[in-house]
Chain A
Amino acid sequence: GESVGLHLPTLSVQEGDNSIINCAYSNSASDYFIWYKQESGKGPQFIIDIRSNMDKRQGQRVTVLLNKTVKHLSLQIAATQPGDSAVYFCADRLSGYSTLTFGKGTMLLVSP
């Protein structure tokens, strides 16, 4: 991913809705993907990860989908809550390297 500009894409949802946050990555050699949540003034918090040999992984209220054909990653949050409001980043890692490359982030705003 590549970070650009000062204006983050924003997704606004109502409490209880399902949210889908999308991310595109650029390198087909990436074999590991992570989603992070970052609240204002805090460091990124790990949400869920997935390896390239999988196309879906579920956690508590969250699901990550990986489409390697189109180099696309998505994070689905079920029954979104106001506490889910944050900036969400996807990151990928090249096979053989340990450095994570972050996408530009999406701001999720949840209204009560």
Chain B
Amino acid sequence: EAGVTQSPTHLIKTRGQQATLRCSPISGHTSVYWYQQALGLGLQFLLWYDEGEERNRGNFPPRFSGRQFPNYSSELNVNALELEDSALYLCASSSEVSTEAFFGQGTRLTVV
């Protein structure tokens, strides 16, 4: 069974541009979570989607947004990129509220 897949693996953008990151959850999982991991830091919660709806949002500005599609895959969009947005963006999925979350390998976003 395929795990959580993220694309692209690496992304380089210039300041002010927009970035789109994609995530495909494990088959049968309806919840998708996005986390930001800046270099040397822990995981900061960004967004949680379940059944196509945004369920919770972390302490990030509105230029971080996303959506979940009917097939439960998800996109994370970051507008007006800033240098500080450079980080590893991790997606995780789970099958219901109370079970463990499985992570993808992440997208390394570099803003120059």
Which residues of A approach B to under 8 Å, CB–CB? 1-3, 5-8, 32, 34, 36, 42-46, 49, 89, 91, 97-105
Contact = CB atoms under 8 A, between A and B. Distances in A.
A86 B106 CA distance: 17
B90 interface: yes
Contact of B101 (A7, A100, A103, A104): A100
What is the interface residue range for chain B against chain A? 20 to 34
Interface of B: 4, 31, 33, 35, 39-45, 48, 50, 55-56, 58, 90, 92, 94, 97-98, 100-106
Nearest to B39: A6
A98 B100 contact: no
Given A43-B90, A43-B105, A44-B90, A34 B41 contact: no
A103 B42 CA distance: 7
A94 B87 CA distance: 26
A3 B44 contact: yes
Contacts of A7: 40
16 contacts: A2-B42, A6-B41, A34-B100, A43-B106, A44-B90, A91-B43, A98-B33, A99-B45, A99-B58, A100-B33, A100-B92, A102-B35, A102-B42, A102-B43, A102-B45, A105-B42
Give the top 10 A-B pairs by smallest Cβ distance, nearest first. A3-B42, A43-B103, A6-B40, A102-B43, A98-B97, A43-B105, A44-B103, A104-B42, A102-B42, A3-B41
B40 A101 contact: no
Contacts of B41: 3, 5-6, 104
